[in-house]
Amino acid sequence: MDNKPDRREFIEKAIFLAGSTFCASCAPAFFSACEYIQEKPIPTMTERTREHIVDLNSFPELNEIGGAISKSFGKPFAGRPIIIIRKEKGTEDDFSIFSSICPHQGGEIILNEELGKNHWCLEHYSEYDFISGENLVPPDSEPDFKDPLVKLKYEHYPEENKLKFYY
Ligand code: FES
């Protein structure tokens, strides 16, 4: 007697049962993980708490109004440069600090060291205000894109001539 169809049927049922059991046991964990992802939004820049301290004695250009640097500080933004601009002296908001990662598609923002000129992204030629980081000229590939540069929160300690920024 040929029992091949029975064996095939048995194997198909076994596979179906194994798959059903697996799904039944994994589904709750899978869906609760999805809920977790949905409930944990990516923190905005103002919510970020990692910090880095800059000794301004190492950057004499930042002691003068209009002075600016674009420099990697290691860990922050995986080593991509941070742009720091000295815009005032003796106020509560003496600096502008930006990520040099273009908010459009991640190109590198080039620091324009002359006060009053704009930052440039050479990827699609967008321009950002030197002090405020506002988007002045959108990327040539997306004229409706108006996001500003990502501005970093900071604290200034004039007595120690240090700057702490958050990333
Ligand atoms: S990546 Fe900067 S303008 Fe597109």
69 vs 73: CA distance, rounded Å: 12
Question: What pLDDT, on the 0 to 100 scale, is given for residue 112?
Answer: 78
CATH code of domain 45-166? 2.102.10.10
Question: What pLDDT, on the 0 to 100 scale, is given for residue 73?
Answer: 97
- Interval between CA 103 and ligand 1 midpoint (Å): 7
Could you tell me if the CB of 62 is within 6 A of ligand 1?
Answer: no
Q: Give the CA count within 13 Å in the CB-facing half-sphere of 143.
A: 0
Could you tell me if the CB of 161 is within 6 A of ligand 1?
Answer: no
Phi-psi region of 161 (alpha: psi -120 to 50; beta: other; left: phi over 0): left
Secondary structure (H, E, C), the chain: CCCHHHHHHHHHHHHHHHHHHHHHHHHHHHHHHHHHHHHCCCCCHHHCCCEEEEEHHHCHHHHCCCCEEEECCCCHHHHCCEEEEECCCCCCCCEEEEECECCCCCCEEECCCCCCCCEEECCCCCEECCCCCCEEECCCCCCCCCCCCCECCEEEECCCCEEEEEC
**Ligand 1 pocket test target in 80, 83, 99, 102 with most atoms within 8 Å of CB:** 102
Higher pLDDT, 52 or 112: 52
Residue 97: pLDDT over 70: yes
- Interval between CA 66 and ligand 1 midpoint (Å): 25
Residue 24: pLDDT over 80: no
Beta-ladder partners of 124: none
Q: What is the pLDDT of residues 35-85, one digit of tens each?
A: 544 555 555 665 778 999 999 999 999 999 999 999 999 999 999 999 999
- Interval between CA 159 and ligand 1 midpoint (Å): 38
Residue 103: pLDDT over 90: yes
The residues spanned by each domain of the chain are: 1-40, 45-166
Residue 7: pLDDT over 80: no
Question: What pLDDT, on the 0 to 100 scale, is given for residue 9?
Answer: 73
Question: What pLDDT, on the 0 to 100 scale, is given for residue 17?
Answer: 63
Residue 34: pLDDT over 50: no
Residue whose structure tokens are 């600090």:
97
Higher pLDDT, 34 or 101: 101
Could you tell me if the CB of 84 is within 6 A of ligand 1?
Answer: no
Could you tell me if the CB of 100 is within 6 A of ligand 1?
Answer: no
Q: What is the pLDDT of residues 116-157, one digit of tens each?
A: 789 999 899 999 999 999 999 999 999 999 999 999 999 999
